[in-house]
Structure 1
Amino acid sequence: MTEEENYEAPGWDAIDQAVEKIYGEQQPAHYGTMIPYALGGNDPLDGISVYKSEQPIAHWHFVTYGFSELYEKESDNVEVSGYGFELTFRLARDIAEEEPPAWALNLLQNMGRYVFSSGNVFRAGDYLDANGPICLDADTQLTALAFIEDLELATMDTANGQVQFLQMIGITADELEAVQTWNTRGLLEACQSYMPYYITDLERASMVTIQEVQDAIEQGIKQDGSSTGYLYNEQLAWSSSETKSAILTIGAKQANIIKKTLNGRLLKNKSLILVGQQAQITLNIGDIPVIEESEEGVEITLHHAALEELNTILEPKEKTVSLSTFKSLEIHIIPTSIKDQDGNILETIG
């Protein structure tokens, strides 16, 4: 290989070199993309390499190629390569397994589709509700994802800018709730001795059932409140008029988590922003209840009596309630339908 050929893909080479420090001469299973995404291909990532690791338990270690700039520098930001990260994923492996499961490769490509289509990037501490099992064909409690720095792959500088290795971790619904009402790092640190290297195991039970983890969550929420500044609710809507109470509409699925996060934010004098396709609502705590509307969205200031009343109203149940403590505000909770990838309704909440 000539020197010119060697540097045709400096970003790719940098990833290879980082992983080689862990796995040496091990040849990974590599899954490349036949037709580039830019030319109409289905898979946005150029490739995914999968290594066999035996420590601390047998598992597959997936590493993506494509969120960062693998070839020439194209973006204007000289400090960051592409989106600034590559994803990794550690999945428990049976000793007899010879090939990594296809569903995990598809999951990583789906993460690529999400980022490439939305422009939203993942950062350490982020989380994502999958609204169903992360492996559709498995009987698993893991229905959400958390993101944290890979414990073995450090952030690196490349010719195209900095790249961080973010590990994707499968978590349960009640672990997701703990993340939302407290924070991702706190929960993962509390679980680390029970989840070495944050290896995803489809068969595991929720860590929240462990007393030590429960205690850490309760103490963390009490001490820190919630680090969740934004909650996305697809069904979020807002309507107002001069003659009637304003109506805040939310989906039943998120009623409980909005209640818990509100307490974790507002009682620590922090705002909570609800974001949907049709509205953006900022909730604050103050002495006088007031609603302010602008081009940027709606800002609602609750006093403590209104917050307490909301705590009794917000539940995953269809209802319309006018607040007695906030005469100009009405809460409308509507059913949420959980659908599979084909749009079929699996469950209706509320």
Structure 2
Amino acid sequence: MNDQADNDSGTGGWDAISASLAQLYPGQEPRHAAPVRPAFLGGGDPLDGISVYHSTHGLPHWHYVTYGLSELYGKESEDPDHSGYGLELTFRLLALPGETEAPSWAFDFLQNLARYVFRTGNVFEDGHWMTANGPIALDTPTSICSMAFAGDPQLPAIETVNGRVEFLQVVGLTLEEERAATRWAPRKLLDALLPHMPLWITDLGRASLLDLPDVGAAVAAGMARDGSSTGHIFTDVLEVTELVRGGAGASLEVTLGARQVTDLLALLPLRLPFGNALALAGSDWQLVFEPAAIDDAVLEGQTLTVFMRPVTLAAFGSTLAPFAGDYHLAGLAQVAWSVKKTLIRDADGVVVQTIG
């Protein structure tokens, strides 16, 4: 298919994706799910469609591919090198014995991921991760509650008349694997899982692969060698208050949620000793931890930067706890730490878990 034919048809981007899939699945007619009214006509689903193929590579599975994060028709974006967001999502789901139809929940799952991209402008990349805040398949008992992203191992990037498109695969993870991904590196974790997870096929019925000795050992060795690649974490609970006190009392109070304290205690020893900073971002404030030879705390605008010596980092880890209360560090006497309970709510706003 040449560029001129793509331009004449008006569906050059769409045709390029379909041609790439036809090479991988010659002669197979996919099931295609399209919204009744796509987003460009005022509908609620951002993707124009999702195709799914049955694959016998690795393990029998369903291979979903989106249409709509790239420019499927005419060129509208100002970026000459990339088509739309420059990607389409793929997802490989283990096919159950005797299963003849691809599960429909995955269509909604991918539409929701695309909706996040369209709403926020945050573009997924190889090596990213994201929590699902619950099972990725709502009506199926599963421990898969998170995801990582990697280039689809069988679909290389393509050049279309509207620019480059990469196929980014969504890989389902357990919460334990998500924690390992943030405390090491998502892409390195996926490589460690690959021998037990061919083509990164998501299996809703599996347990955490970290329980396997070789995977657990590889992750532990990787964290000790590399530290963590996570430089930013986000929180709903973060506030910095300037205190009016006399004497040698604290002049600043930092309020954190118990859930984020757990993350901090895990990540700081995997960042600062390796010479890397760690930032905690809230809706109004940012808290940045930096390795330093002298302890200090500097407030500039809405950002508090905390400089820590190794000994103070060790004291922080042994003093602060993910439980509601007030905490103080001798090395950083100017900062008081207040930990509040974290309330986890479901989609209806009902508290389903309390941390701290």
Q: The TM-score by the shorter chain falls in which range?
A: over 0.9
Match of 1:7 among 6, 9, 34: 9
Deviations along 1:252-297, whole A, 9 cap, x unmatched?
A: 2232222121111101000111112121222101011222222462
Q: Which residue does 1:28 correspond to in 2? A: 30
* Amino acid across the alignment from 2:129: Y
Q: Which residue does 1:252 correspond to in 2? A: 258
- Identical amino acids, percent of aligned pairs: 39
The 2-side partners of 1:252 and 1:301 are apart by 22
1:79-98, aligned counterparts within 5 Å?
79-98=81-100
C-alpha contact (below 8 Å) 2:194/2:200 kept by paired residues: yes
C-alpha contact (below 8 Å) 1:256/1:314 kept by paired residues: no
The 1-side partners of 2:330 and 2:270 are apart by 23
Deviations along 1:4-36, whole A, 9 cap, x unmatched?
A: 885311111111111111101211111112222
Match of 2:229 among 200, 203, 227: 227
C-alpha contact (below 8 Å) 2:6/2:15 kept by paired residues: no
Instruction: Provide the aligned length of Structure 1 versus Structure 2.
Output: 349
Consecutive unaligned residues in structure 1, runs of 5 or more: none
C-alpha contact (below 8 Å) 1:131/1:338 kept by paired residues: no
C-alpha contact (below 8 Å) 2:286/2:303 kept by paired residues: yes
* Amino acid across the alignment from 2:150: I
Deviations along 1:30-85, whole A, 9 cap, x unmatched?
A: 11122222443111111111111112111110101111111111111111111111
- Name the CA shift for 1:36/1:327 in 2 (closer, same or farther; >3 Å): same
* Amino acid across the alignment from 1:10: G
- Name the CA shift for 1:143/1:254 in 2 (closer, same or farther; >3 Å): farther
After superposing the two structures, state which structure 1 stretch, 44-53 or 31-40, moved more.
31-40
C-alpha contact (below 8 Å) 1:180/1:257 kept by paired residues: no
Q: Which residue does 1:269 correspond to in 2? A: 275
Q: Which residue does 1:320 correspond to in 2? A: 326
Secondary structure of the 2:191 match is helix
Structure 1 runs of 4+ off > 4 angstroms? 2-6
Shift of 1:200: 0.4
Q: Which residue does 1:287 correspond to in 2? A: 293
Shift of 1:314: 4.1
Q: Which residue does 1:336 correspond to in 2? A: 342
Q: Which residue does 2:19 correspond to in 1? A: 17
Q: Which residue does 2:170 correspond to in 1? A: 168
Q: Is 1:348 equivalent to 2:350 in the alignment? A: no
Shift of 1:242: 5.1
C-alpha contact (below 8 Å) 2:284/2:302 kept by paired residues: no
Deviations along 1:197-242, whole A, 9 cap, x unmatched?
A: 1000111010111111111111111111111111112222222245
The 2-side partners of 1:104 and 1:166 are apart by 15
The 1-side partners of 2:181 and 2:277 are apart by 17
1:128-167, aligned counterparts within 5 Å?
128-167=130-169
Secondary structure of the 1:94 match is coil
The 2-side partners of 1:316 and 1:39 are apart by 48
* Amino acid across the alignment from 1:114: Y
After superposing the two structures, state which structure 1 stretch, 259-268 or 31-40, moved more.
31-40
Deviations along 1:115-169, whole A, 9 cap, x unmatched?
A: 1111111000000011211112222111111001100000111111111111001
The 2-side partners of 1:205 and 1:248 are apart by 38
* Amino acid across the alignment from 1:172: T
Q: TM-score, normalised by structure 1?
A: 0.95
The 1-side partners of 2:287 and 2:40 are apart by 36
The 2-side partners of 1:4 and 1:114 are apart by 29
Secondary structure of the 2:332 match is coil
The 2-side partners of 1:121 and 1:313 are apart by 38
Q: Is 1:299 equivalent to 2:302 in the alignment? A: no
Consecutive unaligned residues in structure 2, runs of 5 or more: none
Secondary structure of the 2:195 match is coil
* Amino acid across the alignment from 1:272: L
- Name the CA shift for 1:314/1:38 in 2 (closer, same or farther; >3 Å): farther
Secondary structure of the 2:177 match is helix
Q: Which residue does 1:62 correspond to in 2? A: 64
The 1-side partners of 2:99 and 2:197 are apart by 21
Q: Which residue does 1:127 correspond to in 2? A: 129
Secondary structure of the 2:271 match is helix
Q: Is 1:308 equivalent to 2:314 in the alignment? A: yes
- RMSD (Å), alpha carbons: 1.7
* Amino acid across the alignment from 1:211: P
The 1-side partners of 2:321 and 2:173 are apart by 23
Secondary structure of the 1:135 match is coil
Match of 1:200 among 195, 199, 202: 202
After superposing the two structures, state which structure 1 stretch, 255-264 or 67-76, moved more.
255-264
